[in-house]
Chain A
Amino acid sequence: MTSTTKFESYFHVLRDVIRTMHSITNLQEVLDVVVTKTTGALDAKGALLRILNRETNQFEVRAACGLGEKYLAKGPVNTETVLSTLSEQDKVYIITDIWNAPRVEYPQATWDEGVRMMVDMPLGIDETMGLIRIYFTKQREFSGDEVDFIKTVAMHCACVIVRVQLMESQQSKFSHLAAQMDKLSSLGRMAAGIAHEINNPLAGILLYSSNLSKKVPPGGLLEEGLKIIVKETQRCKTIIQGLLEFARDRKPQRALVNVNDIMESALGIVENEFHLRHVRVKKQLDKVVEKVYLDENQIEQVFINILLNALQAVEDKGIVTVQTVVDQEHKKINIEISDNGCGIAPDHLKRIFEPFFSTKANGTGLGLAVSYGIVENHHGDIHLFSEPGKGTRFIIEFPFQVHNSIGKGVHEIS
């Protein structure tokens, strides 16, 4: 091949790779183009593209061309073999000694395939995420132009992989969120139905028991028993009110408010309980806090829920820290409530926002579920970090710019 036609063919390959990249709906198409076109342009026997599966920590074959079934059946390659000699991402490895090169995991199979030389090009932007291996049937010089060409292909290919992986992870995050919202809303509807049905029989129990308790001899066992029935029925009423509160369609009534003011007001409400337990509150409120469109009452409820959870998690004389930080770069305000308490066990952590999930003897399991729903309705995010024995940290984020004109408070996920 003359050098002009060679460059032409490189150009065509790059053009094809870039074209597929821009029209991608699936990653496979790009990977297939990369292996077939590179094989052609380098006049090679074939090529193989492996991508690192972070769950199994193995390089799995994602695209191949020009290689026999028997060779491909060898399966994924362990990361150790590849990464141990892959210290420099930008480096092209030329393997001529098939039998002794440490990078060759299956020398016999490679030899039987008729391969006498291989070129490895790592794929990656900040870290290695894959590898393109090109196979040749005879040993030959690999020119500087060829190295440049394969590097350019690898760079484009790595960009596509990163983009697709990011897209996939966002997609899975959103479908998880959608499933969570769906679960919350169906549980909510169910709760409302049950609450309604239960309040009627409870009304009968409460009317008769409260009435009877006045007719029995005072101070006796009967009076005591009836008073317990009255008290416990009233407790059921409180639990059901909590359920109904949870199930209610909570459309935020937003206004431009200062998050620090809401935090101060929430702290004022729980102050007494903190004082009784000798739990100290450390305040680190950002002085230049931006005003945000929020429903003051709902957000105060969220803060109170989390503060009371923190109070229950710490021993007497524990410390609860509240912090507000303006994140100008991401146009967000972060509110952090952390404690140095008992922490949350990892298997509880997964279920912590589920309605009716509670680790407390008297908990309804609705506080955090309600809080989660409220923050979602404000287009905010709620994150939780916890380590048993060390403490728990809640971070709530609200964007600056969301106001009344954006939706009516209901998060739509399609």
Chain B
Amino acid sequence: MKSLKVLVIDDESVICDACNLVLTEKGHTVDYCMNGKTGLIAIERGTYDVILLDMKLPDIDGMEVLKSVGEKMPGPYMIVMTGYSTTSNAVQAMKLGAADYLSKPFTDDELIEAVEKACAQQ
């Protein structure tokens, strides 16, 4: 498995830490940002393979982040995470360029499977 560069954007540090633990154990590199604005800057500057994006962020809505990424810097494999999953917002996220969808809470295996699908896509 190729090592992936992953960025987690979530305002909950416990989730950032948990994703970091699970993914680094699998040989991937993980960075994280606690809000949408720093997330967008990090995406612009870095060369991430996968972005794990929470839909509810303290500053900007996850959908807005998706939109900006889609318009300005297409490329990274976007996985949306949300605690309030509905079919309609999943569809909306997919339309805005999200490649996958993780509904909170999820297990380590579900996280690894979703992230490593990025390799298959690339």
Contact = CB atoms under 8 A, between A and B. Distances in A.
A244 B87 CA distance: 12
Nearest to A213: B108
A190 B56 CA distance: 17
B46 to A, nearest CB: 23
Contacts of B14: 200-201, 203-204
Interface string B40-75: 000000000000000010000000000000000000
B21 A211 contact: yes
Interface in B77-116: 81, 83-86, 104-109, 111
A208 interface: yes
Nearest to B25: A211
Interface in B1-40: 12, 14-15, 17-19, 21-22, 25
Given A200-B12, A200-B15, A211-B21, A205 B105 contact: yes
Nearest to A230: B107
B18 A244 contact: no
Contacts of B107: 206-207, 210, 230, 234
Interface in A325-360: none
Contacts of A237: 105
Interface in A167-212: 192, 195-208, 210-211
Contact of A196 (B83, B109, B111): B83
Nearest to A215: B25
A199 to B, nearest CB: 3
Contacts of A207: 15, 18-19, 21-22, 105-108, 111
Contacts, number: 71
A365 to B, nearest CB: 21
Of B25, B81, B108, most A-chain CB atoms within 10 Å: B108
Contact of B106 (A196, A203, A208, A236): A203
A192 B107 CA distance: 22
B63 to A, nearest CB: 15
A197 B111 CA distance: 20
A291 interface: no
Contact of A248 (B22, B83, B86): B86
B105 A203 contact: yes
Given A199-B105, A211-B108, A204 B84 contact: no
Interface of A is mostly: helix
A198 to B, nearest CB: 8
A409 to B, nearest CB: 16
Contacts of B25: 211
A236 B106 CA distance: 12
B15 A206 contact: no
Interface in A278-306: none
A237 B56 CA distance: 18
Given A204-B14, A211-B21, A248-B86, A199 B104 contact: yes
Interface in A239-277: 244, 248
Nearest to A200: B12
A197 B22 CA distance: 23
B86 A208 contact: no
A210 B109 contact: yes
A176 B21 CA distance: 53
A199 B87 CA distance: 17
Contacts of A248: 86
A214 B112 CA distance: 14
Q: Which 3 A-B pairs have the closest CB atoms?
A: A199-B83, A204-B14, A207-B18
24 contacts: A196-B83, A196-B84, A197-B83, A201-B12, A202-B105, A203-B12, A203-B14, A203-B15, A203-B83, A203-B106, A204-B14, A204-B17, A204-B18, A205-B105, A207-B18, A207-B19, A207-B105, A208-B18, A211-B25, A234-B105, A234-B107, A236-B105, A244-B84, A244-B86
Interface of B: 12, 14-15, 17-19, 21-22, 25, 56, 81, 83-86, 104-109, 111
Given A207-B105, A211-B21, A233-B105, 7 more contacts: A201-B14, A207-B107, A208-B18, A210-B107, A210-B108, A234-B107, A244-B85
